[in-house]
Structure 1
C-alpha cells in the first residue's frame, strides 16, 4: 500500500513566492502579446520545485493575470512549460534541456492549446490553428533564456543544488 503524500510547506511557500514574482514582473515589464518573465520564473520553478508545484506556480500567476484583465492565454501559455521542464529536469538534471522543454511546452503546446479557447470561448476570428506559435515561442525563448542564465550562475556558484535539496527536504 502506497503512503499518502501531503503538501510540503516549504514547497508551498516557494510556489507562492515564485507565482507572486512572476505576476509582479509581468505587471511591470510588459511587451505586446509577450510575457517573457513568466517563462523566466517557469524555468526556475521547474528546477527548484519540480513539475507539479511549478505548474501550480504558473497557474496561480495566470489566474492573477486573468483577474487583472488578461485572457485565458495567461494560463494556457504558462502551465505546460514548467510541467514539461520539471519532468525533464527530474530525469536528466540538464538545465539546457529544461530550457528546451519550457520553449516547447509554451511555444508549441501552450500556443496550440490557446487556439480553441480564443476561437470558441472568446470568439476571436483566428486564421490558423497554429496562429499563436510565432507569438509564444519568442517570449518563451527570451524568458527561458533568462531563467537558464540565472540557474547557470547559481550552478557555477555552487548554490543551485543546495537550494534544490533544501526546498525538496533532501
Structure 2
C-alpha cells in the first residue's frame, strides 16, 4: 500500500475509539460491550477495515487498562476486518453489519479462547465456549450501528460525511 495516512482519517479513528470507550464505560451491560460493535460498524463504513480495526484496538487497549481482560481487544478487532472485506466486495451495509456480528461474535470469541486459557487460567470445555457470550453483544451492537447508518443514509448526511473524511 503506497497510500499516505490521512490525518482526517486518523483523527476520526481516534474520535471513534474514544466514543466506543466512553459508551462502553458509561452504559454498562452485564458481560457485554455492544457499543464497541456499534462503533465498529460506523468506523468500517466511514473509514474502511484497517482504520476501524485500529479504533477497536485503541478502545480495547484503553478498556484493558481500565481493568478488563484481553477479550476487550481480541473480541473487537476481527469484526472490522471481516465486515470491511465484505463491504468492499458488496457495498451492502446490511452485509457489513452481519460481517461485524459474525466476525466479532464468532471469530472474535474463538480468537479470545486461547488467550483466556493461557493468561487468565480459564478452564472451559471447548473453543466455542465464549461464542454464547460474544454473539449477543456483537449482534446487538451491529444492529444499532446498522440502524444509525440507515437513518443517516436516508438524510444524506452519511454520504457527505464519508466524502468529507475521504477527501
Same fold (TM over 0.5): yes
Most deviating of 29-38 and 67-76: 29-38
Which residue does 2:85 correspond to in 1?
87
What does 1:20-99 correspond to in 2, within 5 Å? Answer: 20-99=18-97
Which residue does 1:133 correspond to in 2?
131
Q: Which has the higher helix share?
A: 2
SS in 1 for 2:87: helix
State the Cα deviation string for residues 105-124 of structure 1 (Å, max 9, x = none). 01111000000000112111
Which residue does 2:160 correspond to in 1?
162
Q: State the distance in 2 between where 1:136 and 1:155 align.
A: 28
Specify every segment of 5 or more residues in structure 2 that has no aligned partner in the other structure, as ranges.
none
Most deviating of 126-135 and 86-95: 86-95
RMSD of Structure 2 on Structure 1 (CA): 1.0
Shift of 1:44: 0.2
Shift of 1:40: 0.4
Structure 1 moving runs of 4+ over 2 Å:
none
Which residue does 2:108 correspond to in 1?
110
Shift of 1:168: 1.2
Specify every segment of 5 or more residues in structure 1 that has no aligned partner in the other structure, as ranges.
none
TM-score w.r.t. the length of structure 2 is 0.97
Instruction: Provide the aligned length of Structure 1 versus Structure 2.
Output: 167
Q: State the distance in 1 between where 2:29 and 2:157 align.
A: 32
Shift of 1:76: 0.6
